[in-house]
Amino acid sequence: MRDYVILTDSSCDLPAELAQELGIRVVPLSLLLDGKEYINYLDGREIGFKAFYDAIREGKSATTSAANITTFKEEMKAIVEEGKDVLYIGFSSGLSATVGAGTNAARELSEEYPDSKVYAVDTLGASLGEGMIVYYAAKKKAEGASIEEVRDYVENRKLNQAHWFTVDDLNHLKRGGRISPATAAIGTMLNIKPVMHMDNEGHLVAVGKVRGRKTSLKELVNSMEASWLPDENPTIFISHGDCLEDAEYVASLIKDKMGVEDIRINYVGPVIGAHTGPGVVALFFWAKER
């Protein structure tokens, strides 16, 4: 069986050392912060995660754009010319055109190199939701699964992967058009926190609201308890917008209630964080359904 590489993009928010350990290659995305462009590497070499969130707290504006097809083609072509095949596992098409660029690049490379396999899969996930799928795909590869088997595994499992999250500041959702200015103003005044998840089309959807930060964090765990698959979650993932203590609180509740010990925690990177702001906490696990 010909060797292959799992390729993803930096919105996966995996810890850089874990991606390296698993042999995952990453196309870095970019953002504009206060008018200056930064490349979002997993190790934060151009802009540190805490520095990014501090800038947002200071009122600096951040915008993002999808990676272009040329960037993906260059990365994929380099792998193909090493004599390896490529499986790109990407950022939700419901939130970004990034996976579209990767898919088009894969199609073009397949035509240019007909003896090579270049596949692309839309995770319909984001942040460590995307990262979790990439992680389990890499584990399958390490067990000896073929590129087609891993591709099909991701396609078949992605709608059983739950994304639950809450934010601390409604104004970031307002700026992104997720909620109205009136809803943000009233919610802020009443200390209302939304509880949201990712639907089957890869869009962010509000499914509830509670009063108070602590309650919203507990609600993430309640949502997991109601739908998780105990035998299929040896490792779960939590990402956070520079609020590690809150992420660790969620992890402690999960350990106490459900006994999961392997919980990976990492930052929500700048690409996602530009839209959610500081204080986001997101929980990812295998569930009966999204």
Domains, the chain, ordered by start: 4-159 (3.40.50.10170), 160-286 (3.30.1180.10)
pTM of the model: 0.93
Render pLDDT for 43-53 as a digit per residue (tens, 0 to 9): 999 999 999 99
pLDDT classification of 185: cutoffs 50, 70, 90 = low
Q: Could you tell me the two tokens for 135? A: 């992680």
Q: Among 226, 195, 193, 196, which Cα is nearest to 211's?
A: 193
Both tokens of 212, joined, read 């108070």
Q: Are 60 and 33 in contact (CB under 8 A)?
A: yes
**CA torsion sign, 72 to 99 to 208 to 235?**
negative
Residue type for position 283: L
**Confidence at 221, pLDDT banded by 50, 70, 90:** very high
The DSSP string of 18-64 is HHHHTT-EEE-EEEEETTEEEEE-TT-SSS-HHHHHHHHHTT--EEE
Residue 4: its H or E element: strand 4-9
Give residue 174's pLDDT band: very low, low, confident or very high (50, 70, 90).
low
